[in-house]
Amino acid sequence: MTFARDASVSHDSAAALRVSFAGPKKPNSYRQFFQPLTVEPGATYRVRAWIKGQDVTARAVSIPTATWATRYYPPEGTYDWQQVEFTLTPGNVSTYRFSIIGEGPVGALWIDELTIARADGADPTNIAGNAGFDDAATVAANGEYAVSTYAIDRGPVRWLEAAAEANVAMSLLLAPQYFPAFLTAKHPELVLAEEGYDVHHPLAREVIEAFLRTTNPSTKRGWARYLTEQYGDIAELNSVYGTAYRTFDEVPAPGVRAVEPTVRVL
Ligand SMILES: [Ca+2]
């Protein structure tokens, strides 16, 4: 059962999610593709998506709509792009794991332009992230891992922006227990202790550097966006500060304030 980003078939001419599996179907054998959603407790959501099918067999792919007992099943057979719609009722929770379950033979089922929004229209926001499946992430040259700009924008960058809004300083912590488990499982030589990894191992250094290099431009984009909101255009900022920047991207972020370093040796 494969879930893949397909850049050659899509409804929006970028990319779509492709689900495929040669089979056969076996009891209790399935694969789950999921995303945690932040939901309003008790609210019902309307899910819309564009789908395209090729040899989709009965109950091969499904999407739970409340619990795993109630599911949406895409049409069977082979068909061109069509928009489907169903409701999702996560229940009295504030986070919900939206899942696509694959468990039977399917030539290919493409899913694109997913939208999940309040059914009562109270909030038109699409709560699904990377809903067009267009984020390609940056796949390392050695194929060992990928760094998703999307995940960083939705995670660390949002936290940093919220902290900035509240005038709270934040520092990024690279804690050993948060090193990607799939890499330590594949490369046991990275493991130093039960919950630690060798920060000097070339692969560990490479992964951390890739994360920081991806996070840094994302946070810089937030700085440029903030300046745009504050000054509107660069000429206004230049007139206030007597500077000659050509774009907001050129404006350096405020200097790092001296703080007492806290070093924790594990
Ligand atoms: Ca797409």
Residues with CB under 5 A from ligand 1 (ion): 10, 12, 14-15, 112, 132-134
- Alpha helices per DSSP H over 9-107: none
Report CA(112)–ligand 1 centroid distance (Å): 5
Separation between Cα atoms, residue 138 and residue 150, nearest integer Å: 10
Backbone angles phi, psi at 73, to 5 degrees: -115, 125
Residue 167's pLDDT is 87
Using only C-alpha atoms, the chain has a radius of gyration, in whole angstroms, of: 23
Fold of 2-118: Jelly Rolls (2.60.120)
Domain boundaries defined on the chain: 2-118, 138-250
The reported pLDDT for the residue numbered 264 is 53
CA 249 / ligand 1 centre spacing (Å): 28
pLDDT tens track for 203-259? 998 888 888 777 777 667 778 888 998 999 999 999 999 999 999 988 887 655 555
Which percentage of the chain shows pLDDT scores above 70?
A: 91
**Average pLDDT of the residues in 121-139:** 87
- Residue in 138, 266, 263 with CA at minimum distance from that of residue 211: 138
How many A from CA of 75 to the centre of ligand 1? 20
Q: Please count the helices (runs of H) and the strands (runs of E) in the chain.
A: 5, 13
